[in-house]
Amino acid sequence: MFQKVLIANRGEIALRVIRACKELGIQTVAIHSDVDRETLPVLTADERVCVGPAPSMKSYLNIPQILTAAKLTEADAIHPGYGFLAERAEFAEICEEHGIKFIGPSARAISLMGDKAVARKTMIENKVPVMPGTEDIADVEMAKKFGKEHGFPIMIKAAAGGGGKGMRVAHDASELERLFEQASIEAESAFGDARIYIEKFLAKARHIEFQVMADSHGNVIHLGERDCSVQRRNQKLIEECPSLVLSEKKRKEGGQMAVNAAKACNYEGAGTVEFLYDEASEQFYFLEMNTRIQVEHPVTEEVCGIDLVKEQIRVASGLPLSVTQDEVVMRGHAIECRINAEKPDEGFRPSVGTIDRLHFPGGPGVRIDSYLTSGSKVQPFYDSLIAKVITYGANREEALTRMRRVLDEMIVSGISTTASFHRALLDNTYFLRGDVHTTFVETEYRGEEVGV
């Protein structure tokens, strides 16, 4: 087992990793920018190192500074969390070159799955179903040709993308021409890579993903699925485990596809294989593989009873998986709401400021993952996620009842949050009966209620 782990991240995921390390008896090092030095994860870690000023490029994305911090503190491993450097193949490779274990997959696996166009090709070669689409395309005329052959709408996607960046839906050729350039510019800005590819767009698909875990001994398992269909502009809002629409047979089928996808790139660690699922045909279509721990991993932990971050650290240290596929048992139902520092009534504009009053509710089946304390400053430089509210119950109804109670009791004063937006969503007729899909918020849910 590692002696000391440096966490190359901030916010709630940094705190989550620190807590897992402490339970494993591992010393921790928190890096931070100069505006984050008084945050909870920094104060909780055993050691702390400032790696630069507030902008991410000068701090949390500053590879030389992070490696220097790891060397100075004699950390023998780095956990990247999610976002920032978590899916940067060059970072994983540099860590390896400097004798520091990267807690995640190999640089090769990250490269293979990080390039969405290459990942599609890899899945096709390994008989994992994919949505009809293209490899990288050079210009909009090639995209128009695909639209003419396969019909509109079609999805424009960034080859190096993820998190909804560089994605647009075009409903006809003229809209395609306008959106193609927008997606390319956004992809260049977000990922430093303007390459684009095209997929057929499934208008009422569910977004269902499978959690996988693999060790260095050749063992690969899945830990069931998460339904992430409630989204706003390709950004996940609510996640549930298990999905209401999968039979046990379909769960095993999707899980096996996810395992096959992980094996195809010789995967090691925690990963998520994401699919679009067409309820009418009961067909899975590979979407992408995220080569890191996911924001929504807690719902899987609640239902499976397995600490995914601790398991991630264990397998990175060379230990085999602590469970076999037959030992994975899903019990009950879990829901997660992502609470962001945003103003729903103003088009979800970011909200920044100081938390002057804070109350996170507790009680049976309630879990709050957050870095906030009273007096915390929500900065304009980083992602707006401030808390993840997770509730668990014997069934979906109990989990929903607990989520309503928590959102009603929760107090975050000093900034605006999306808690009221989530609370309204929980009472929506379509959501209550589980009749949701990736464009549900923009279509079935009234636009004026959600700021779309």
Q: Residue holding tokens 């119950």?
A: 393
Active site residues: 292
Cα–Cα separations (whole angstroms), residue 242 to 119, 287, 323, 326, 334: 26, 19, 19, 17, 7
Cα 203 to Cα 170, 207, 229, 443, 449: the distances in Å are 11, 12, 12, 11, 21
Which pair of tokens denotes residue 322?
């602590």
Strand pairing report for 27-33 and 4-7: parallel
For residue 309, what are its two tokens? 């971050």
